[in-house]
Amino acid sequence: MKKTIEVVGAIIIDNQKILCAQRGSGKSLAHYWEFPGGKIEEHETPIEALKRELTEELLISVNVEEELFESTTYEYDFGFVHLTTFICHLIEGVPTLTEHVNIKWLPSSKLGTLEWAPADIPTVEKLKTTL
C-alpha cells in the first residue's frame, strides 16, 4: 500500500502577485513549479509547518490566513500527496533560493503559463477564478 504524505503549500501574495517556485533537479518532480512549503512534521499543525518550511526554504516570514484555501490528494508513483494550501502574506525577508532553482511573481491570470506539479494544479485553477 502506498504511503500518504501530508504537505502544505503557501500561496504568497505580494503586490497582487503570487510567488511560484521551481523545484530543483535533484528532487522528485524536478523542474515542476509549486507553491513553496513542505511536509508536516508529527508535532506540527499545518500552519506551524508552513511557517517553518518557508523560513528554511526561502528565508522569509509570513502571516498565514487561518482558513485553508484548497485541499487535494494526488497519487504519484512514490505515494499519495495530500496538499493543503493557505493564503500567506510576506511579513519579512526577500525570498531567497535555497532549495528551488527559480522563483517568479505572477498575477493569478498568468499562473497557467507554468508547468505545475500535479498536486498543485487544483489550487492554480481555483486561484485563476478567485483572485
DSSP 3-31: PEEEEEEEEEEETTEEEEEEEPTTSTTTT
Fill in the amino acid letter for 23: R
Task: Retrieve residue 125's grid coordinates.
Answer: 485553477
pLDDT at 36: 97
Q: How far is CA 76 from the centre of its chain?
A: 17
Tell me the CATH class for 4-128: alpha beta
State the DSSP code for 40: P
pLDDT at 82: 97
Nearest to 82 by CA among 11, 26, 13, 9: 9
Evaluate whether 117 touches 123 at the Cβ level (below 8 Å). Answer: no
Domain definitions of the chain by residue range: 4-128
Task: Give 86: exposed, middle or buried? Use CB within 10 Å, 0-12, 13-18, 19+.
Answer: buried
- Residues 39 and 50: their CA atoms lie apart, in Å, by 8
| pLDDT digits (tens), the chain, 131 positions | 889 999 999 999 999 999 999 998 887 888 999 999 999 999 999 999 999 999 999 999 999 999 999 999 999 988 999 999 999 999 999 999 999 999 999 999 999 999 999 999 999 999 999 87
